[in-house]
């Protein structure tokens, strides 16, 4: 019973009780008993911790997170049902008992269907999203330069090497000029996951693959992962830049550590100004930064484009609406002063294997002369 003493568990108990009282009230006692038992089982199945680790079978990890996604939709649809019933009370009071029973059944069916569809969407390999970035005064040699971005794959207990291999094959099919991995690649140590990230060595592009750390790398042993990704042929950018010569023009590709990196590694404090120091004045300046909230400092430093991830686009509705409480942008292409920022919705998922309404993506960014 110690688990029930934690504040989060008390909140979850209250929310499960609310769902039970609202959805089960229109039914007979035996149905209510069965429903209450199912809700208790759902509560017990949900993860004991928000951190997931290796060492367990895929489904032993997957099932609790599916339960979490199911619960999320059950709660949202129960709230929507109650709002609808309040409106019906004023318009059709005599029909309320029948509406209450039918709508409770509809909530359960819709939750099951959405959970199933969201699971399939999360587990499929991300589709390619094509995005043109219009830059004024872009050198002719860089017109049409393409960047394939993958991010937030979260290789770990439920995402394995076969999933990564299919991503690599799809990226290679784009024939991009370079590949960017913008953090949160892993959830686990190198010893646990090296075999599952090994397919990344097969990424192909004209100018190579570049990586910046996300917050989950620091949960998983960032220094070890920096070494492993370097071994796989990936260039890890730690508050630094490289100059790419292409078509007679120059592109300064910079990368910063995660926005929160200094909490784990004091010498890894994210610094866009340092990352761009010494870059040629005539170069087009592109920053890889895991979190969108690096954008303000990136704009001050003089970047033309920032490429980010981290948000998962909210991963599934309605949580996308809460991302703006922490990040300046949620997903897609945005403008901050004279700088563009693109935020991918992520190539994998974290936690609940759920992607309903917010699909994952592999992004092909193309620089276009405005």
Which domains, from first to last, does the chain contain?
2-123 (no CATH), 127-369 (3.60.21.10)
Please name the residues in contact with 143: beta carbons below 8 A apart, sequence gap of 6 or more. 367, 368, 369
Q: Mark out the alpha helices in the chain (DSSP H runs).
A: 7-24, 29-45, 58-91, 96-123, 161-172, 190-197, 215-220, 222-231, 272-276, 295-301
- Exposed (0-12), middle (13-18) or buried (19+): which is 354, by Cβ within 10 Å? buried
Which is it for the CA torsion 254, 137, 302, 329, positive or negative?
negative
Other CB atoms within 10 A of residue 334 CB: 16
d(CA 85, CA 93): 10
Question: Read out DSSP for 134-148?
Answer: EETT--GGGTT-EEE
d(CA 194, CA 215): 19
Global pTM? Answer: 0.91
d(CA 347, CA 125): 8
pLDDT at 4: 47
* Three-class SS of 67-108: HHHHHHHHHHHHHHHHHHHHHHHHHCHHHHHHHHHHHHHHHH
For residue 9, the SS3 value is: helix
Average pLDDT across each block of 10 residues of the chain; the chain has 370 residues. List them in order.
Answer: 65 94 94 95 82 64 91 95 88 81 95 96 96 96 98 94 98 98 96 96 98 96 97 98 97 97 95 96 97 96 97 87 87 96 97 92 96
d(CA 180, CA 174): 13
Q: Which of 138, 151, 225, 227 is nearest to 188 (CA)?
A: 225
The CB-side HSE value for 289 (13 A sphere, CA atoms) comes to 30
Tokens at residue 37, please?
């038992």
């Amino acid at each position: 019973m110690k688990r029930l003493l934690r504040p989060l568990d008390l909140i979850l108990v209250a929310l499960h009780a609310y769902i039970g009282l609202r959805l089960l009230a229109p039914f007979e006692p035996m149905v209510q008993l069965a429903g209450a038992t199912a809700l208790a089982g759902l509560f017990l199945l949900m993860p004991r911790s928000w951190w997931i680790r290796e060492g367990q079978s895929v489904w032993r990890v997957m099932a609790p997170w599916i339960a979490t996604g199911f619960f999320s939709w059950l709660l949202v649809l129960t709230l929507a049902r109650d709002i609808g019933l309040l409106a019906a009370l004023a318009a059709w009071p005599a029909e309320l008992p029948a509406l209450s029973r039918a709508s409770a059944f509809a909530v359960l069916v819709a939750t099951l269907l959405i959970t199933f569809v969201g699971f399939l969407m999360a587990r499929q390999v991300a589709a390619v999203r094509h995005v043109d970035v219009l830059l004024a005064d872009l050198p002719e040699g860089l017109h049409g330069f393409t960047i394939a971005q993958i991010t937030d794959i979260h290789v770990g207990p439920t995402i394995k090497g076969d999933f990564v291999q299919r991503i690599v094959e799809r990226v290679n099919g784009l024939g991009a000029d370079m590949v960017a991995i913008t953090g949160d690649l892993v959830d686990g140590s190198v010893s646990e996951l090296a075999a599952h990230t090994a397919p990344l060595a097969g990424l192909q592009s004209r100018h190579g693959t570049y990586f910046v750390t996300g917050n989950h790398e620091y949960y998983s042993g960032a220094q070890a992962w920096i070494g492993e990704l370097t071994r796989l042929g990936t260039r890890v950018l730690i508050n630094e830049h490289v100059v790419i010569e292409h078509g007679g023009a120059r592109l300064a590709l910079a990368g910063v550590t995660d926005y929160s990196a200094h909490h784990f590694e004091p010498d890894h404090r994210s610094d866009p100004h340092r990352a761009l120091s010494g870059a040629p004045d005539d170069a087009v300046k592109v920053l890889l930064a895991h979190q969108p909230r690096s954008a303000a400092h990136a704009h001050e430093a003089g970047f033309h484009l920032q490429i980010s991830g981290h948000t998962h686009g909210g991963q599934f509705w309605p949580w996308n609406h809460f991302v703006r409480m922490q990040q300046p942008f949620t997903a897609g292409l945005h403008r901050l002063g004279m700088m563009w920022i693109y935020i991918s919705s992520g190539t994998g998922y974290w936690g609940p294997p759920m992607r309903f309404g917010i699909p994952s993506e592999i992004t092909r960014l193309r620089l276009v002369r405005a």
